[in-house]
């Protein structure tokens, strides 16, 4: 989580972060593997990127603002020597674009250097931070991960695993962590298991292998590593010169709360998340959607790219042909120069172009993964109608988004979530669709082959697995 500095000392939680972590142990090309692992996970964060490597008990650091491909040059990767490294991609919004917030964060503790890369949000970070400040902690950045470093620094032990076993139970919320010290690499996942974290092995060609840890398995595919298993909720795994070790994070076993939104939108479709192919679960969401919400139409068109697997599922289940009625320009940077004359729908048109050859005179089912503010959908429908579609039936492959995420996905506040403020028919009218339907929570859970008790679907059903009073008050 990031904090925005408002009114001097008064710190309030800002928009949340979406991040990727990566770590490798025992690999002669550790930094290069980390670079590739971050490259494959660019979708989880585009604001900044960083790598810390371990060489001769010293940490070597390179971090910067921007995309992985821009932050690291050949010379940086050459400088990041050593057989172990960790890396992080970060996305955040308001107020948190400080250089210091770029992860991995580093500190020197009793036993030497520690670097940490974190995906997820600690929901009690504000209270922890205030408490640490009264004890004299000097914070340099505005992110929750820094709390963990201060907590570790206060434990009089030089055993990082022991320190983590004492500090982690005090964190409430989501953390998938990778840490590097001067003699080990540690990975930890919170007892709820909100965010994914996977363990793999990369063959080194001489019969040996290196250990790799990542947010998503797509990172393993790129570097030729094999998935061994998920790091379990509440598990600490570490690697040192004696190999792999594991322990439980002490404390009560919480209910599991795997983020269903990873499957709806966030993760790459070619990843296995929570032991399940994201591509297959998205197709099943589309199938369930078609079963629950039939419509007479000529073609099924996805909102590219996020709606494609669900649209395939919808088409397969309904028997309505799948067509690419909207083409996406993949080469959009973060900024573009606006034309001097204002052009209607320019913002979305630079990214999405409707094909009138496909859409003209057709009754179109448009499938997207989620509907948040409704503004994108409104623009897309306008484009589809301008390309000559006769009818537009909007289908959303997830339930109405009615609550913000406190655990690491960037969602706007309740006041901006259209489904939290308006009825189905008001939303349909706002986006100007002939009909609108969402997938039910039960349909979504069937698609992820899940038990509701194992998943967090709070952004859809309001059932937050941790207390949220303090967050709502801040
Ligand atoms: P809108 O309804 O205008 O807010 O936009 C919905 C679109 O945003 C959908 O097509 C989703 O693919 C995409 N989307 C949903 N959640 C997020 C998120 N947390 N960050 C970025 N894009 C998102």
The structure tokens listed for 185 are 């690499």
Q: Ligand 1 centroid vs 198 CA: distance in angstroms?
A: 25
Task: Please identify which of the residues 19, 163, 218, 405 carries the catalytic annotation.
Answer: 19
CA atoms within 13 A on the CB side of 134: 5
Q: Going along 120-273, which residue ranges are E strands?
A: 176-180, 185-189, 198-203, 209-214, 226-230, 235-240, 243-248, 258-259, 272-273
Q: Which domains does the chain have, with CATH numbers?
A: 19-254 (3.60.20.10), 278-473 (3.40.50.2020)
**Ligand 1 test: best mutation among 195, 267, 376, 418, most atoms within 8 Å of CB?**
376
94 has pLDDT over 80: no
Atom of ligand 1 nearest to the CA of 374: 2
Q: Ligand 1 centroid vs 244 CA: distance in angstroms?
A: 39
**Ligand 1 test: best mutation among 121, 372, 457, most atoms within 8 Å of CB?**
372
Mean pLDDT of 172-190: 97
Q: Ligand 1 centroid vs 361 CA: distance in angstroms?
A: 28
Condensed to tens digits (0 to 9), the pLDDT of residues 40-52 reads 999 999 999 999 9
Q: How many CB atoms lie within 10 A of CB 451?
A: 9
What is d(CA 310, CA 316) in angstroms, rounded to the nearest whole number? 10
**Ligand 1 test: best mutation among 259, 267, 269, 370, most atoms within 8 Å of CB?**
370
What is d(CA 121, CA 135) in angstroms, rounded to the nearest whole number? 23
Which residues does a 6 A CB cutoff place in the pocket of ligand 1?
A: 265, 303, 306, 368-377, 409-411
Which residue's CA is the nearest one to ligand 1's atom 19?
410
What is d(CA 28, CA 125) in angstroms, rounded to the nearest whole number? 37
1 has pLDDT over 50: no
Contact 195, 274 (CB under 8 A): no
Q: Ligand 1 centroid vs 111 CA: distance in angstroms?
A: 44
pLDDT of 411:
84
Contact 188, 175 (CB under 8 A): yes
What is d(CA 198, CA 228) in angstroms, rounded to the nearest whole number? 8
Q: Going along 92-224, which residue ranges are E strands?
A: 105-109, 112-119, 176-180, 185-189, 198-203, 209-214
Condensed to tens digits (0 to 9), the pLDDT of residues 268-297 reads 999 999 999 999 999 999 999 999 999 999
Q: What is the DSSP annotation of 404-431?
A: --SSS-----GGG-HHHHS-HHHHHHHH
Q: Ligand 1 centroid vs 371 CA: distance in angstroms?
A: 6
Average pLDDT, the chain: 91
Which residue's CA is the nearest one to ligand 1's atom 15?
370
pLDDT of 333:
64
pLDDT of 472:
56
Condensed to tens digits (0 to 9), the pLDDT of residues 306-363 reads 999 999 999 999 999 999 999 999 887 655 565 555 554 467 888 899 999 999 999 9
Which residue's CA is the nearest one to ligand 1's atom 11?
370
Stated as kind and residue range, the H or E segment containing 364 is strand 363-368
Residue 19 catalytic? yes
Q: Ligand 1 centroid vs 134 CA: distance in angstroms?
A: 39
**Ligand 1 test: best mutation among 47, 265, 268, 381, most atoms within 8 Å of CB?**
265
Atom of ligand 1 nearest to the CA of 409: 19
2 has pLDDT over 60: no
Contact 117, 53 (CB under 8 A): no
Atom of ligand 1 nearest to the CA of 405: 19
Look-up of token digits 């060609």: 205
Atom of ligand 1 nearest to the CA of 306: 12
Q: How far is CA 198 from the centre of its chain?
A: 14
pTM for this model (two decimals) = 0.93
Q: How many CB atoms lie within 10 A of CB 82?
A: 19
Atom of ligand 1 nearest to the CA of 303: 10
Buried b / exposed e across 460-471, counting CB within 10 Å, b at 16+? bbeebbbeeeeb
* 431: Cβ contacts below 8 Å, ≥ 6 apart: 371, 374, 377, 378, 381, 394
pLDDT of 339:
58
What is d(CA 296, CA 279) in angstroms, rounded to the nearest whole number? 26
pLDDT of 350:
83
Q: Ligand 1 centroid vs 427 CA: distance in angstroms?
A: 15
């Amino acid at each position: 989580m990031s904090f925005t500095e408002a009114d001097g000392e008064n710190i309030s939680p800002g928009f949340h972060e979406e991040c990727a972590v990566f770590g490798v142990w025992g690999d002669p090309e550790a930094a290069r593997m980390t670079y590739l692992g971050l490259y494959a996970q660019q979708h989880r964060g585009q604001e900044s990127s960083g790598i810390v490597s371990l060489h001769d008990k010293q940490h070597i650091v390179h971090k910067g603002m921007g995309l992985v491909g821009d932050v690291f040059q050949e010379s940086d990767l050459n400088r990041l020597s050593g057989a172990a490294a960790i890396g992080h991609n970060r996305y955040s919004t308001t107020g948190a674009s400080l250089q210091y917030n770029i992860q991995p964060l580093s500190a020197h503790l009793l036993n030497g250097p520690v670097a940490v890369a974190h995906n997820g949000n600690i929901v009690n970070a504000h209270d922890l931070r205030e408490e640490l400040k009264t004890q004299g902690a000097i914070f340099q950045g505005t992110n929750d991960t820094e709390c963990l470093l201060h907590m570790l620094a206060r434990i009089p032990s030089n055993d990082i695993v022991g320190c983590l076993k004492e500090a982690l139970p005090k964190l409430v919320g989501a953390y998938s962590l990778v840490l590097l010290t001067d003699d080990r690499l540690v990975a930890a996942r919170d007892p709820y298991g909100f965010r994914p974290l996977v363990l793999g092995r990369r063959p080194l060609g001489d019969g040996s292998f290196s250990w790799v840890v990542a947010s998503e398995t797509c990172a393993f595919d790129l570097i030729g590593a094999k998935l061994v298993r998920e790091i379990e909720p509440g598990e600490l795994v570490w690697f040192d010169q004696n190999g792999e070790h594991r322990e439980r994070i002490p404390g009560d076993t919480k209910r599991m709360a795997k983020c269903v939104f990873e499957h709806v939108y966030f993760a790459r479709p070619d990843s296995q998340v929570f032991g399940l192919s994201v591509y297959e679960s998205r197709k099943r969401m589309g199938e369930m959607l078609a079963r629950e919400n039939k419509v007479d139409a000529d073609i099924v068109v996805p909102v590219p790219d996020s709606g494609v697997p669900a649209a395939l599922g919808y088409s397969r289940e309904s028997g309505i042909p799948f067509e690419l009625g909207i083409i996406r320009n993949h080469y959009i940077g973060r900024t573009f120069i606006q034309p001097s004359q204002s052009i209607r729908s320019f913002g979305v048109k630079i990214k999405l172009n409707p094909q009138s050859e496909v859409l003209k005179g057709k009754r179109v089912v448009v499938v997207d993964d989620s509907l948040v503010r409704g503004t994108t959908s409104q623009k897309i429908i306008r484009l589809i109608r301008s390309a000559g579609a006769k009818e537009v039936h909007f289908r959303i492959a997830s339930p109405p988004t009615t609550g913000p995420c406190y655990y690491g996905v960037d969602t706007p506040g309740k006041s901006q979530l259209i489904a939290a403020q308006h009825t189905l028919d008001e939303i349909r009218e706002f986006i100007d669709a002939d009909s609108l339907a969402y997938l039910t929570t039960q349909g979504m859970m069937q698609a992820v082959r899940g038990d509701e008790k194992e998943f967090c679907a709070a952004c859809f059903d309001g059932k937050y697995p941790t207390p949220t009073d303090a967050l709502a008050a801040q």
